[in-house]
Amino acid sequence: MLKQVRIGVLVSGGGSNLQALIDAQQAGKLPDGQLALVLSDRPGIRALERAREAGIPALAFDRKAEGAQAVEQRMLEALEQQHIQVVVLAGFLMILSPIFIRKYAGRILNVHPSLLPAFGGKGFYGLKVHQAALERGVQVTGATVHLVNEIPDGGRILLQQPVRVRRGDTAETLQRRVMEQAEWKLLPRATQMLCRRIIKEEHHG
Ligand code: GAR
């Protein structure tokens, strides 16, 4: 019987959401999953150091040098080789192809720094999301964890957490607060929920 679901985390930057997953694992808050592999589409990023510090195998590819298609293919091979069952996009900024998404249908999670469907889709990533929210004048924003389908940021929503915008907020201060108050809590919680569901499904055949 399956004991723990093997999780692969895909990253492109600072890796603070990866860190939240590592911290949750170390605190016993991810009992049904195991962080088994970290993959990045950029070399030299902080997220890779965080993986190595936590003793998680990590591989870096280079999207700029190799192109997105080749990187995606090599990522799929690495995930299969490590028997990864759940893929978590934690600040991963490459858009995955339908081939990848179908291989892991219903088993890819993404964290997005807004209350989807607001400020989502192509071009909305990282600080740009918070800039757009501030320009529009929203008073409440937040974060969303959703399943990934073929529409960017368009998959089924699993968890959301609102965060209030404060007077004087910049994209940077808002990003930090959305991470602290929402993303770092939601992503480990949603990952555990999905792993739990997979274990139950396998158990009941
Ligand atoms: C996070 O705010 C994440 O939600 C966002 O990028 C940041 C990565 O930070 N992702 C997207 O915008 C995806 N469309 P991190 O590398 O410190 O986790």
Contacts of 88 (CB under 8 A, 6+ apart): 7, 8, 9, 10, 21, 108, 109, 110, 187, 191
Closest Cα to atom 8, ligand 1: which residue? Answer: 91
pLDDT at 100 over 90: yes
1: pLDDT strictly greater than 80: no
Q: Verify whether residue 203 is a known catalytic residue.
A: no
Q: Is 16 in the pocket of ligand 1 (CB under 6 A)?
A: yes
Atom of ligand 1 nearest to the CA of 124: 14
How would residue 171 be classed by pLDDT, with cut points 50, 70 and 90?
very high
Helix axes 16-26, 184-203, angle to 10 degrees: 60
Question: Using an 8 Å Cβ cutoff, are 184 and 18 in contact?
Answer: no
- Domain residue limits, the chain: 5-204
Model confidence at 202, in pLDDT bands (50, 70, 90)?
confident
Residues 6+ apart with CB under 8 A from 160: 115, 116, 142, 143, 144, 145, 186
Q: Is 15 in the pocket of ligand 1 (CB under 6 A)?
A: yes
Is pTM beyond 0.95 here? yes
Share of the chain above pLDDT 70, in %: 99
Mean pLDDT to the nearest integer, 52-64: 98
SS3 of 93, please?
A: coil
Q: pLDDT category, 2, cuts 50, 70, 90?
A: confident
Among protein residues, the one whose CA lies closest to atom 17 of ligand 1: 16
Nearest CA-CA partner of 183 in 113, 88, 91: 113
Q: What is the mean pLDDT of the chain?
A: 97
Quick one: which atom of ligand 1 is closest to the CA of 93?
Answer: 13
Distance, CA 112 to ligand 1 centroid (Å)? 7
Distance from the alpha carbon of residue 14 to the mean position of ligand 1, in angstroms = 8
Q: Is 129 in the pocket of ligand 1 (CB under 6 A)?
A: yes
DSSP H/E element including 146:
strand 140-147
Question: Is there a contact between 109 and 87 (Cβ–Cβ < 8 Å)?
Answer: yes
Domain 5-204 has CATH 3.30.70.100: no
Say which of 112, 146, 203, 204 is annotated catalytic: 112
> Given a cut of 90, is residue 103 above it in pLDDT?
yes
Q: What is the pLDDT of residues 34-45, one digit of tens each?
A: 999 999 999 999
DSSP-assigned letter for residue 96: P
Give yes or no for residue 38 CB within 6 A of ligand 1.
no
- The mean pLDDT value for 73-98 works out to 98
Residue 203 binned pLDDT confidence (cut-offs 50, 70, 90): confident
Closest ligand 1 atom to residue 15 Cα is: 16
